[in-house]
């Protein structure tokens, strides 16, 4: 960097000099230059570069996820393949009648086909789905929830807080580690309560082991009160028919993961779940189940505030069509990553190490992530490089996000698409 002049440079001159290093619009560089001259007039050049680089690094950009966390919440959860055009779409236009239609009709039919639900609607995320169900079906009334399921997940999302905001009243039943059917029936029978719903909530990001007992959806469905199963992670069917021909059997880590199809078969009136976790689609929340209850949710005033845009609906529709066509493992990046064999991952790691001329091929444990299948891992392979190189890898034009432990950087190939192996090679070569 050149020696600072006695007087600070002009705003325009400083902004133009920044453009050589930082690819931002001129107006933003002018703002960085102006702030730098005002705050640090004697070191305006260095300060302006710092401001510009910080602004550029704060923008949303593509990254290569080499952490081994397949659904990385900080990296957008389920990665998506997108194809954009400048054309409009018929998000609320009925192609048959030529009049206004519903943005939910097509997706509702697809979800019904895949899960057996009578109807479905889509909102911004699963927190919104839970909020809408409670507001539409239990405002001013009571909802029974096991104490072991009255949880807090990421982003300070707490079931008691959401319950309060919806206008419903939480009735805790059972204990943290053991809740029986009799706990629910006792709450229903109590004259102090007006139970509108029973909620079964997937703990998502933790598990309780040891002296435990809970009540299944099938048991709750015998109580005569609608059961809402918040399955969270968005597994459509725990038999995973889309994996046939790709894996010899359903992965063991899915054994205890609740699924929409089975929850509805077991008697849940509604299920709520995320679109960007095990479903592998865009961020959204899905409410599926009994048509009358879904329609009550759709008619609630909150629906207008919580509905997703057309781009989300398009991406969700594309994902659901892949499930219908049984092409999920080719079309949906999450399931593509999951079904890669450890042999293929090891071969890729060996090829990268050979091309780079440094590093070691290592067996690793990848994670599903995003609160799905807590406490379980997926076998993987990757590359270990001496030293903590995370900052350098993040600083690339196309950042590579890795993890480090005990002074070693790990590149987990389970979460890296094979098309990005060349990017990994280039990034590791430049570390030298």
Residue 318's domain is classified under what CATH number?
Answer: 3.40.640.10
What is the C-alpha to C-alpha distance for residues 117 and 270, in angstroms, rounded to an integer? 8
Q: How confident is the model at residue 375 (pLDDT cuts 50, 70, 90)?
A: confident
Q: For 179-220, what is each residue's pLDDT tens digit?
A: 899 999 999 999 899 999 999 988 765 566 666 688 899 999
- Does 382 reside within a domain? yes
**Best CA proximity match to 428, nearest among 64, 21, 58, 57:** 64
Q: In this structure, are 162 and 134 located in the same domain?
A: yes
Q: In this structure, are 142 and 290 located in the same domain?
A: yes
- Does 88 reside within a domain? no
Contact 68/412 with Cβ under 8 angstroms?
Answer: yes
Q: In this structure, are 298 and 370 located in the same domain?
A: no
Q: In this structure, are 377 and 295 located in the same domain?
A: no
- Does 94 reside within a domain? no
Q: In this structure, are 31 and 72 located in the same domain?
A: no
pLDDT at 119 > cutoff 60: yes
- Does 308 reside within a domain? yes
Q: In this structure, are 324 and 380 located in the same domain?
A: no
Q: What is the rounded average pLDDT for all residues in the chain?
A: 90
Mean pLDDT of 108-127: 95
Both tokens of 311, joined, read: 């781009």
For the chain, the residue count is 432
What is the C-alpha to C-alpha distance for residues 427 and 432, in angstroms, rounded to an integer? 10
Q: In this structure, are 71 and 139 located in the same domain?
A: no
pLDDT at 11 > cutoff 90: yes
Both tokens of 266, joined, read: 């077991």
Q: In this structure, are 36 and 121 located in the same domain?
A: no
Q: In this structure, are 324 and 306 located in the same domain?
A: yes
Q: Which of 315, 331, 347 is the last residue of a domain?
A: 331
Both tokens of 98, joined, read: 């030529």
- Does 3 reside within a domain? no
- Does 6 reside within a domain? no
Domain extent, residue 171, equals 105-331
Q: In this structure, are 125 and 252 located in the same domain?
A: yes
Mean pLDDT of 127-131: 93
Measured in whole angstroms, the distance separating CA 270 from the mean position of its chain's CA atoms is 21
Residue 157: predicted pLDDT = 67
72 half-sphere exposure, CB direction, 13 A CA radius: 20
Q: In this structure, are 69 and 30 located in the same domain?
A: no
pLDDT at 18 > cutoff 90: yes
pTM: 0.90
- Does 185 reside within a domain? yes
Weakest-pLDDT range from 159-163, 239-243, 357-361, 418-422 = 159-163
199 phi, psi to nearest 5 deg? -110, 130
Residue 155: predicted pLDDT = 58
pLDDT at 153 > cutoff 80: no
Q: Which of 331, 362, 386 is the last residue of a domain?
A: 331
Q: For 283-330, what is each residue's pLDDT tens digit?
A: 999 999 999 999 999 999 999 999 999 999 999 999 999 999 999 999
Q: What is the domain-level CATH number for residue 68?
A: 3.90.1150.180
- Does 209 reside within a domain? yes
Total structural domains in the chain?
3
Q: Which of 331, 363, 398 is the last residue of a domain?
A: 331
Q: In this structure, are 348 and 261 located in the same domain?
A: no
């Amino acid at each position: 960097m050149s020696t600072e002049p006695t007087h600070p440079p002009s705003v325009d001159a400083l902004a133009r000099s920044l453009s050589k290093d930082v690819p931002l619009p001129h107006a933003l560089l002018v703002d960085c230059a102006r702030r730098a001259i005002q705050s640090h007039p004697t070191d305006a050049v260095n300060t302006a570069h710092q401001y510009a680089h910080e602004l550029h690094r704060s923008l949303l950009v593509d990254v290569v996820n080499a952490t081994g966390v397949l659904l990385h919440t900080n990296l957008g959860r389920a990665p998506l393949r997108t194809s954009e055009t400048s054309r409009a779409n018929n998000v609320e236009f009925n192609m048959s009648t030529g009049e206004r239609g519903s943005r939910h009709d097509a997706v509702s039919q697809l979800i019904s086909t895949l899960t057996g639900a009578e109807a479905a609607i889509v909102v911004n995320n699963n927190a919104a789905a839970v909020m809408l169900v409670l507001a539409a079906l239990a405002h001013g009334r009571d909802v029974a929830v096991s104490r072991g399921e009255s949880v807090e997940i990421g982003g300070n999302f707490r079931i008691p807080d959401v319950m309060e905001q919806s206008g419903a009243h939480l009735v805790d039943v059972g204990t943290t580690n053991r809740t029986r059917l009799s706990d629910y029936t006792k709450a229903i029978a109590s004259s102090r309560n007006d139970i509108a719903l029973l909620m079964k909530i997937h703990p998502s990001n933790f598990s309780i082991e040891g002296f435990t007992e809970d009540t299944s959806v099938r048991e709750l469905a015998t109580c005569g009160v609608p059961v809402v199963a918040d399955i969270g992670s968005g597994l459509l069917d725990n038999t995973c028919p889309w994996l046939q021909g790709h894996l010899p059997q359903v992965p063991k880590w899915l054994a205890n993961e609740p699924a929409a199809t089975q929850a509805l078969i077991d008697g849940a009136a509604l299920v709520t779940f995320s679109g960007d976790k095990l479903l592998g689609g865009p961020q959204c929340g899905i409410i599926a189940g009994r048509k009358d209850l879904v329609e009550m949710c759709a008619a609630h005033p909150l629906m207008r505030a919580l509905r997703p845009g057309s781009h989300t609906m398009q991406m969700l529709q594309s994902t659901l069509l892949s499930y219908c066509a049984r092409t999920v493992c080719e079309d949906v990046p999450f399931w593509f990553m999951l079904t890669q064999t450890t042999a293929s991952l090891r071969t890729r790691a060996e090829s990268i190490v050979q091309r780079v001329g440094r590093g070691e091929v290592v067996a690793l444990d990848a994670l599903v992530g995003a609160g799905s299948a807590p406490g379980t891992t997926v076998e993987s392979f990757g590359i270990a490089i001496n030293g903590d190189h995370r900052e350098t890898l993040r600083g690339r034009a196309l950042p590579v996000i890795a993890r480090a432990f005990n002074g070693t950087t790990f590149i987990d190939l389970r979460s890296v698409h094979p098309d990005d192996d060349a990017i990994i090679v280039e990034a590791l070569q430049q570390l030298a």
